Chain A
Amino acid sequence: MECVIVKNITKVYGKEKKTAVDNVSFSVNKGELFGLIGPDGAGKTSIFRILTTVLLPDGGEASIDGLDVVKNFKEIRSTIGYMPGKFSLYQDLTIEENLNFFATLFGTTIQENYDLIKDIYIQIEPFKDRRAGKLSGGMKQKLALCCALIHKPNVLFLDEPTTGVDPVSRKEFWEMLKRLKKQNITIIVSTPYMDEANLCDRIALIQDGKILQMDTPQNIIKSYPDPLFAVKANNMHKLLPFLTEYPERKGSYAFGEYAHFSFNGNPDVAALEKYLKAKGLDNIEIKNADVTIEDSFIKLLS
């Protein structure tokens, strides 16, 4: 069953008519974990703000549980949970005070929905008398998530919840999202981190306000057209320009400690190795690489 429906949403900012969201359409099913993946400035936050009713779209329409985001904004505001990209809690209030405040704001209490936040809250509860401004990045995000969840929303909007958070906390955070999904809460999350895309049920790759591709992460990876190779050599700085100059090249870019490379036409690994050796590189290693979402994204951008 479709829970969030977005149809041809467009948003244009300012006098220069900068298009932040360009004719975007997608839908999210009930209980689904949907990811908007894209770099900074791709239009993710604008889409979130339109769906959470704090921004009016310039074109198109969107609805949540059948409620229109423009006409029925009042009803929507009490049924969704929203965690903005910027940490937006009261820094001079303690963890407990913040949580209490947001619970009361939505006409509920911490006790009433404690089950929902228990797993998360238990981790920050030892510091409940500490002011939010003095928490670490990971703890802040956990608190913000608790505050967004405390009223048991039908749909949860998380705008870049893991930006600026350490890898361990990021991992924990995604595990929490998986557990929430089991409670049948629809979650829409945005992130600039490609490795997090695999953890979503479905993702939309977005760039310059347009959705480039939308599918399950597995299908997106499967749809990658070419065999992909990982190349490594003793001098990585020189390797990249040499790869770019290679006549049979289709694509090449740095990827962790390797460079990813795809051939134009049939892959001829031996020829590539010979070419690189002739350029004076040593310790050359060429192997098949697993396609990741990031590769798909780079492919779509080129």
Chain B
Amino acid sequence: MKQFFTFINKEFLHVLRDRKTLLILFGMPVVQILIFGFALTNEVKNSKIVVVDYAKDVASKEIINKIEASRYFEIDQMLPGTNELEKAFETGKIKMAIVFPENFNSNLLHQNKAQIQIIADASDPNQATTLTNYASSIIADYQSEMNQLNLAPYRIQPQIKMLYNPQLKGAPNFVPGVMALILMLICVMMTAISIVKEKEMGTMEILLVSPFKPILVILSKAVPYLILSTINVASILLLSFFVLQLPIKGNLFLLFSESILFIITCLTLGIFISVKTDSMQTAMLLSLMGMLLPTLLFSGFMFPVENMPIPLQIFSNIVPAKWYYIIVKRIMIEGLGFASVWKETLILIGTTIFLLFISLKSFKIRMS
């Protein structure tokens, strides 16, 4: 037992003395959360629009005021006529234009029907759709207010409610994603590299010619990264709570336990890679290409898995990050308990045991 602790102590010295790597390890989660939180966001905020108002009546004024008051739009200028629209779009700054025809209000009042033209710059189709949706909902909002005053009969009014994330913020989506990504990166890559390093530096040869059990060599490598990653989970959660104002709805203890389970899964993955490779370069490439990329693509964090072709959907099931991502979303965002994540938890436990078993089986007690 004393040997085991000395070994762990040695691993800590390795980690702590490599200042640059240490900085990356602790800096990465902070930087990623900040980047995803403030720079890489697909939320639409303060998009510049232009308005052509031929009507200039009560109704058009009110709708314009409503649009201006929302945080999605910022009216860049009022244009006198539609002829200038093209020019405005050509600047690239203007994302959308709203045109009110003449007699807008009187049409609305007397014919019960009026039209508004919404023109969007669809060079980014997603953004255009989002913007027109926002605009439509603002107009619909105005309409419903009017209807309360002079009741028009027989209308179906959909009531849309955005559950768990009513303001459609990006954070609830990416914070679980970043957690999966960072844990994957640190645990898999760092463990794999640190074990393969012993092989490459020749120290594994001495360790083999000692009474110390090879299995303990591997296990003691995993301990420092387990602790390090747990600290990282805490720092991500703190950041998302205080900086991104994302509350943790579910049980914190459950969230941490599931995170530690996922960390252990990643560590065994790292051990598995290190057992199968002999050079640090291969280990790094394998963990980057083989682990990081699938995590990005198949966890559901960037691209919805449901929209992928069936073979890829099936493939996504073997990506552990997918299950962790689901778990974190359910606990953290939806506030659900263990009852709703037990299946995913079991899958992670199964993967871990399977990987650990294979790694220990194929660990070489000799050189080849």
A101 contacts B366, CB within 8 Å? Answer: no
Is A42 interfacial (CB-CB < 8 Å)? Answer: no
- Complex Cα spacing A71 to B144, Å: 86
A105 contacts B210, CB within 8 Å? Answer: yes
- Residues of A35-89 whose CB lies within 8 A of B: 49, 52-56, 73-74, 77-78, 80, 82, 84, 86-89
Interface size class, chain A: 20 to 34
Is B17 interfacial (CB-CB < 8 Å)? Answer: yes
Q: Which of A90-98, A120-128, A231-239, A288-296 forms contacts with chain B?
A: A90-98
Report if A78-B210 is in contact (Cβ < 8 Å); known contacts: A54-B366, A55-B367, A56-B366: yes
- Complex Cα spacing A90 to B14, Å: 9
Report if A105-B6 is in contact (Cβ < 8 Å); known contacts: A52-B209, A55-B366, A74-B211: yes
A90 contacts B203, CB within 8 Å? Answer: yes
Among B18, B205, B210, point to the contact of A84 (Cβ < 8 A).
B205
Interface size class, chain B: 20 to 34
Is A106 interfacial (CB-CB < 8 Å)? Answer: yes
Q: From residue B217, how far is it (CB to closest CB) to chain A in Å?
A: 10
Residues of B within 8 A of A101 (CB): 6-7, 10
Residues of B within 8 A of A244 (CB): none
Among A77, A88, A92, point to the contact of B211 (Cβ < 8 A).
A77
- Complex Cα spacing A86 to B212, Å: 21
Most B CB atoms within 10 A — which of A53, A82, A84, A105? Answer: A105
Q: From residue A148, how far is it (CB to closest CB) to chain B in Å?
A: 8
Q: From residue B198, how far is it (CB to closest CB) to chain A in Å?
A: 9
Q: From residue B126, how far is it (CB to closest CB) to chain A in Å?
A: 49
A93 contacts B13, CB within 8 Å? Answer: yes
Residues of B within 8 A of A100 (CB): 6
Is A104 interfacial (CB-CB < 8 Å)? Answer: yes
Residues of B within 8 A of A147 (CB): 206
A82 contacts B206, CB within 8 Å? Answer: yes
Q: From residue B252, how far is it (CB to closest CB) to chain A in Å?
A: 36
Is A247 interfacial (CB-CB < 8 Å)? Answer: no
B206 contacts A88, CB within 8 Å? Answer: yes
B202 contacts A88, CB within 8 Å? Answer: yes
Most A CB atoms within 10 A — which of B202, B207, B211, B365? Answer: B211
- Residues of B204-235 whose CB lies within 8 A of A: 205-212
Residues of A within 8 A of B212 (CB): 105
- Complex Cα spacing A259 to B7, Å: 55
- Residues of B1-43 whose CB lies within 8 A of A: 2-3, 6-7, 10, 13-14, 17-18
Residues of A within 8 A of B17 (CB): 92
Q: From residue A172, how far is it (CB to closest CB) to chain B in Å?
A: 23
Residues of B within 8 A of A97 (CB): 10, 13
* Closest residue of A by beta carbon distance from B203: A88
B367 contacts A84, CB within 8 Å? Answer: no
Is A107 interfacial (CB-CB < 8 Å)? Answer: yes
Report if A92-B201 is in contact (Cβ < 8 Å); known contacts: A54-B367, A77-B211: no
Report if A104-B3 is in contact (Cβ < 8 Å); known contacts: A92-B14, A97-B13: yes
Contact code string A143-158 (vs B, CB < 8 Å = 1, else 0): 0000100000000000
| Among all A-B residue pairs, the 6 with the closest Cβ atoms | A88-B202, A78-B211, A104-B6, A82-B209, A86-B202, A92-B17
Q: List 9 A-B contacts (CB under 8 A).
A: A52-B209, A54-B367, A82-B206, A84-B206, A86-B202, A88-B206, A93-B14, A101-B7, A105-B212
